[in-house]
A = this chain, B = another copy of it.
Amino acid sequence: MPFDTPSDASLAPLWAPLAASTQPPARPARASLTPPIVSQDAQRSIMDLKEKPTRMLKLDSLKVACSSCNLRELCLPVGLSRSNLEKLDQMVASRRSVKRGEALFHAGDPFQSLYAVRTGFFKTRVSSEDGRDQVTGFQMAGELLGLDAISQDRHTCDAVALEDSQVCVIPYHRLEELSREFTELQSSFHKIMSREIVRDHGVMLLLGSMRAEERLAAFLLNLTQRLQARGFSPSALILRMTREEIGSYLGLKLETVSRTFSKFQEDGLLEVKQRQIRILNEDGLRRLVNNSTC
């Protein structure tokens, strides 16, 4: 099974190869991560068994338990003690499914809840008045969506599913309440927001100081690192986004992204078949990112 990239992934794992000097060895790869996370479909069938729902649609309103979620090590509950973990269960009230291409929320929507990606894959996108778009991130399982909305009580970006996805709904006022009660949760939440800021700074470094090849290499390393944290192969992946979306994220045109993929293939760094990518020389990519002028 070469290209094993099911629809899962994890929480705010910074631009490890970028923020580099500013952080420890990027948190020991989570070897302890429970059984490699199963695919979206597999998860669904487990759910079906356990909770005996009659139809997919009902799934959305099911009671959800962080305490028994296999993403808990990668999501908001990270670091919570068993007992506090169970208190989260009363907070995360429901799930919501979002079909590929649909938006979880749009810029301007009133803010009610944060969302934790449970399965699937999202992009977030900001737009300027004149219609310029910028993809600000790609979110996998365990990662939080909606943090930007806290500042104005409105979402400031669109979150669009890049494949059929499921999110856990985290009512924000409940989160604030609970985090006043439980120091651990407060601390977790603050760390998550702060991590988002650090991640954004890494992206600024990328956009502000790297050339095309370096950007794409950094992007791929970041993706595989996050996938690996979720139990996937560090060397084979299926891109969930188009060249244009990658380009928007990296501040490049889609043709430049495409050309750079081709160049990497010529150089023996990657095997590229449309969206199927295999990394043949990870160190080579890493050198590209780290040795600016070499």
Contacts and interface: CB of A to CB of B under 8 A. Distances in A.
Interface of A: 18-24, 107-108, 126-136, 147-152, 154-157, 176, 179-181, 183, 186-187, 190-198, 200-205, 207-210, 248-251, 290-292
A204 B136 contact: yes
Given A21-B107, A23-B156, A197-B193, A176 B187 contact: yes
Contacts of A195: 151
How many copies make up the complex?
A: 2
Main secondary structure of the interface of A (DSSP, over half): helix
Contacts of A22: 107-108, 126-127, 154-157
Given A22-B108, A24-B152, A134-B204, 16 more contacts: A20-B128, A22-B154, A24-B154, A128-B205, A128-B290, A130-B291, A130-B292, A134-B201, A148-B194, A150-B190, A151-B191, A151-B192, A193-B197, A200-B203, A200-B204, A209-B251
Contacts of A190: 150, 176, 193
Given A186-B180, A198-B151, A130 B203 contact: no
